[in-house]
Chain A
Amino acid sequence: MSVVDRPITAPVHSEVDSYPEHHFLNHSKGFLSWALTLDHKRIGLMYLVGVMSSFALGGMFALMIRIHLWNFKDGWLSNQTYNQVFTLHGAIMVFLFIIPSVPAALGNFLLPVMLGTKDVAFPRLNLSSFYLWVTGLVLFLTALSVTGLDTGWTFYTPYSIETQQGGAVLAATFGVFVLGFSSIFTGLNFIVTINTMRPPGMTWFRMPLFLWAIYATSIIQVLATPVLGITVLLLSAERLLGIGIFDPKLNGDPVTFQHFFWFYSHPAVYIMILPAMGIISELMSVHCHKGIFGYRMIAYSSIAIALFGFLVWGHHMFTSGMADVTTIVFSALTFTVSIPSAIKVFNWLGTMYQGTVSLNTPMLYALAFIFLFTIGGLTGLPLGALSTDMHFHDTYFVVAHFHYVMMGGTLVAFLGGVFHWWPKMTGRMFNDKLGIISAIIVFVGFNLTFLPQFVLGSRGMPRRYATYLPEFQPLHQLSTIGSITLGSGLLLALIVLLMSLVNGKKAPRNPWGGATLEWMCSSPPPHDNFSSAPTVGDPYDFSNIEYDGRVGGYVKRT
């Protein structure tokens, strides 16, 4: 590490704000000091590298799909390969990237620091979660290289029982099982940390909203994931022993599989979106330099989403064969979940109102989130309504819907969060101008890719098809162009981040003017975060936080 430029006689501010000599990154050295670390910050960073690599892998598959669809027939992939490519795209993105992205990477790094503790409650369990994640990755790569999985990320029976790619199904289901436990243990660890380790003064309602979101997410992780675990376990028993529980040939019931699967996978979409919403709550208030509007409503709505989310899984199965009454009830319940989501959106808008908005990279991603998530959420309503879903089900409309919420929502928020906390995590500032450009390209590219898919879907283009009718070609080509734009925007974002490691300015303690605890420790934080419990104040009180030109960042007026 570089020499510390800290004159002994310098004024207090610049002294405390200079790049710290000892921090968690150089606390100990060598490969094993990372591989066996129990430090939540290092584990968080390892996750960050891991999920971003998975995202890159999944992204390559996505581009392959879009390029294949340039022409309405005779794409460059065979039908069989096409099935494998979209399956692996979906499975990697869902299980390896988006579910662990915010909680495991950013959450791990930030939760103890924001809470004011030294670590999570069970550091060893935390490291095991990471290695479970790695095992899941290896199993997915096996599925990819051995034969190639072609069931779709949903593993619907009976196809998943009958497909020739048996080895891949086994490897992938086992991978999902292991990843599930990784996710459960992370959630469990976070719940316990928040419940038992809050330092004096950190009451529930002084917790940053990001922590509320992580808390709600963890509840879902703990309550929903075991059901996925048993489902995929039964599915692998189905492949290995032919137990028949989900196999219609043996009097088993494939619709039961769907119920089990969606009992997890609908709540899982809230595992994806809730932490993203938490990020947005932080970004909105910090970059508007204004207290969050409706703190309690946002906190409660996170919990409400977590609980309501368990009651609506049936909306994925309106066409699978359920009693009429059941479909009506599920449809009605689906509408209730959108209320807490809308509450949050209004509160973020309220936060911006009369704030001093800094239009920097994290804030632009946050704004993009609000726009894209709103579209994604609103298009969920016609899908939740019975009459319209009969038409939209299994079309590109659904594809566009979930990309707006998952990619436009979670991924964009994740990027915003990564830019926001990057100086804290690495101690380096990135080039804000280039970052802003990346955000704009991502936003434009994203809409170009997925807006046409709403139109395609409503005109009847089914999802997961390798060929399509000629009349859909212009819209498909527009979407492909969009995807390449989007890909370049994301690449630029990555370059901006990596460049900062090489030639970035050293980050001050508090570059954006945040009031939560992580901005009180140095950038990057020391090994133990806080040598003794920090003083906890209102996380959204910006009244005495001022910019100090000498340190290039914000300081708290005493």
Chain B
Amino acid sequence: MTAIQENLAHVVDDHADHHHEHPSWLAHHFDDAEQQYDSGKLGMWLFLVTEVLFFSGMFCAYALYRNRNPEVFEFCSSFLNEKLGAINTGVLLFSSLTMAWAVRAAQLRQHQLLVGMLGATLGCAAIFLGVKAVEYSHKWELGLLPGKLYVAQLDGAHGPHKGYLEFICTVPAIITALCALYAIYAFATKSLFHQRVAGPMLVAGLCFFGGVGLGQYLEAQEEASKGHGGHAAGHEHHAMVDGHVDHGSHEHAAAPESVHAAETKTAAEIAASSSASMGGSPNVYVSPIELKTPNADVNQRSMAGLFFSIYYCMTGVHAIHIIGGMIVITWLIVKAAREEFHEQYFGPVDNVGLYWHLVDFIWIYLFPLLYLIT
């Protein structure tokens, strides 16, 4: 009977006034802070599970094609600049630290520190994207594009198209300019809230361009160390070794027929060693440079093109996650600037933190799988 009576009583009173006090940060359908926190946490973990599964599709595709054409992956991987990848790995790892620190700050009501830590995380994310922008634009200039768009010539010369970097940078430039205006406004009005929000956003905007600068510097260094115009390791061998590695494709019939005997031997050695590296005993020593040798078969849409499809899909979807993370971190900064968080209510920081660690974590797999293939 009690339930019925309560419902009846409920008909009379309006839903707005509750029997027990509900602080503003506690949603009305939760009983207490703990229930709200637990729900948010479980929800975020489930979301992370879906994220892992989402990426797993691409990891499967990676495994399948790498297993089928290992030499393509070896060859193409040499076009990725390990230094840039390593720096980005470091940047993301550091941002995980600042994010975790932010959670601590939220629990301890250290509002200023919290804003700072979230801002640092945001800045790291921006550096990451800046470096990525350099990487992407350089590849596009070389024609190292996905699938049917792949047009790389591999003679080291840059393709006809330039200016991709400027193109990518326009949107961040506009956003940074807006942040700068906002910062001017914030300091003009002397509003602590606006300063706390605008400051980190402006810094993050500038970090992006810092990342771009860093990326360009390292990319130029890499090119210089590879000799004039040469981009990937082993380009010099291009003219010498024209044999093809048998990778089970139908296209190899199209490879040039006129190969010298000595070169054919080299090709055979390459094949032998790539099968040896799969578990056999390496009788023939082939230097890594030779393994990375581009050959007519690999450099085509259905081979290298497919690698770059996978590369762009994986890193692109990852970058979208970084951008999504930046948006929610900005939202957190706004809340933190309003000093909303305290030891009873820090779930949002905690959960965004979890998300952020996952995004880092995925990168930690992507980096070796894509950049460090030897």
Q: Write the nearest CB–CB distance from A126 to chain B, whole angstroms.
A: 11
Binary interface encoding of chain B residues 1-36 relative to chain A, with 1 for a CB under 8 A from any of its CBs, else 0: 111101111110101000100000001111000010
For A250, list chain B residues within 8 Å (CB). Answer: 147-148, 301-302, 305-306
Could you tell me if B57 and A191 are in contact, using CB atoms closer than 8 angstroms? no
List A211-246 residues whose CB lies under 8 Å from chain B.
222-227, 229-231, 233-234, 237-238, 241-245
Could you tell me if B309 and A222 are in contact, using CB atoms closer than 8 angstroms? no
- Which B residue's beta carbon lies closest to that of A522? B7
Q: Which positions in B face A, CB cutoff 8 Å?
A: 1-4, 6-11, 13, 15, 19, 27-30, 35, 38-39, 42-43, 46-47, 49-51, 53-58, 60-61, 64-65, 69, 146-149, 249, 251, 301-303, 305-306, 309-310, 312-313, 317
Q: Which positions in A face B, CB cutoff 8 Å?
A: 15-16, 20-22, 27, 117-123, 125, 184, 188-189, 191-193, 195-197, 222-227, 229-231, 233-234, 237-238, 241-245, 247, 249-253, 256, 260, 509, 517, 520-522, 526-528, 530-532, 534-535, 556, 558
For A21, list chain B residues within 8 Å (CB). Answer: 11
Known pairs A16-B4, A118-B29, A188-B50; A244 contacts B147 (CB<8 A): yes
- Cα-based distance from A195 to B149 in the complex (angstroms): 48
Select one of A121, A188, A238, A526 contacting B7, CB under 8 A.
A526
- Cα-based distance from A230 to B4 in the complex (angstroms): 48
- Which B residue's beta carbon lies closest to that of A241? B146
Q: Write the nearest CB–CB distance from B281 to chain A, whole angstroms.
A: 28
For B27, list chain A residues within 8 Å (CB). Answer: 123
Could you tell me if A196 and B39 are in contact, using CB atoms closer than 8 angstroms? yes
- Which A residue's beta carbon lies closest to that of B28? A118
- Cα-based distance from A249 to B29 in the complex (angstroms): 55
Supplied contacts A222-B49, A226-B54, A252-B306, 12 more A-B pairs, CB within 8 Å: A118-B29, A197-B39, A223-B50, A226-B50, A229-B54, A230-B55, A233-B317, A244-B302, A260-B57, A509-B4, A520-B7, A556-B1
Select one of A119, A192, A222, A517 contacting B29, CB under 8 A.
A119
- Cα-based distance from A558 to B69 in the complex (angstroms): 74
Could you tell me if B57 and A251 are in contact, using CB atoms closer than 8 angstroms? no
Select one of B8, B149, B310 contacting A245, CB under 8 A.
B310
Could you tell me if B19 and A226 are in contact, using CB atoms closer than 8 angstroms? no
By Cβ-Cβ distance, the 3 closest A-B pairs, closest first, are A242-B148, A230-B57, A244-B147
Could you tell me if B35 and A245 are in contact, using CB atoms closer than 8 angstroms? no
Q: Write the nearest CB–CB distance from B75 to chain A, whole angstroms.
A: 14
- Cα-based distance from A139 to B39 in the complex (angstroms): 32
- Which A residue's beta carbon lies closest to that of B59? A230
Q: Write the nearest CB–CB distance from A179 to chain B, whole angstroms.
A: 14
Could you tell me if B46 and A530 are in contact, using CB atoms closer than 8 angstroms? no
- Cα-based distance from A527 to B8 in the complex (angstroms): 12
- Cα-based distance from A501 to B30 in the complex (angstroms): 34
Could you tell me if A249 and B64 are in contact, using CB atoms closer than 8 angstroms? no
- Cα-based distance from A368 to B302 in the complex (angstroms): 53
Could you tell me if A196 and B35 are in contact, using CB atoms closer than 8 angstroms? yes
For A522, list chain B residues within 8 Å (CB). Answer: 7, 11
Could you tell me if A245 and B39 are in contact, using CB atoms closer than 8 angstroms? no
- Cα-based distance from A117 to B147 in the complex (angstroms): 52
Could you tell me if A22 and B11 are in contact, using CB atoms closer than 8 angstroms? yes
Could you tell me if B49 and A223 are in contact, using CB atoms closer than 8 angstroms? yes
- Cα-based distance from A244 to B64 in the complex (angstroms): 14
Q: Write the nearest CB–CB distance from B72 to chain A, whole angstroms.
A: 9
- Cα-based distance from A101 to B281 in the complex (angstroms): 59
Q: Write the nearest CB–CB distance from A529 to chain B, whole angstroms.
A: 9
Select one of A15, A225, A252, A534 contacting B50, CB under 8 A.
A225
For A120, list chain B residues within 8 Å (CB). Answer: 29
- Cα-based distance from A517 to B147 in the complex (angstroms): 57
Could you tell me if B10 and A531 are in contact, using CB atoms closer than 8 angstroms? yes
Q: Write the nearest CB–CB distance from B301 to chain A, whole angstroms.
A: 6
- Cα-based distance from A216 to B6 in the complex (angstroms): 32
Could you tell me if B4 and A192 are in contact, using CB atoms closer than 8 angstroms? no
Could you tell me if B6 and A247 are in contact, using CB atoms closer than 8 angstroms? no
- Cα-based distance from A530 to B2 in the complex (angstroms): 11
Q: Write the nearest CB–CB distance from A402 to chain B, whole angstroms.
A: 25
For B310, list chain A residues within 8 Å (CB). Answer: 245
Q: Which of B8, B303, B309 has the most CB of A within 10 A?
A: B309
- 13 A-B residue pairs with CB within 8 Å: A123-B27, A196-B42, A197-B29, A227-B57, A243-B306, A245-B65, A250-B147, A251-B69, A253-B64, A520-B3, A526-B7, A534-B3, A534-B6
- Cα-based distance from A249 to B251 in the complex (angstroms): 11
- Cα-based distance from A253 to B310 in the complex (angstroms): 13
Could you tell me if A243 and B57 are in contact, using CB atoms closer than 8 angstroms? no
Select one of A16, A122, A253 contacting B8, CB under 8 A.
A16
Could you tell me if B15 and A27 are in contact, using CB atoms closer than 8 angstroms? yes
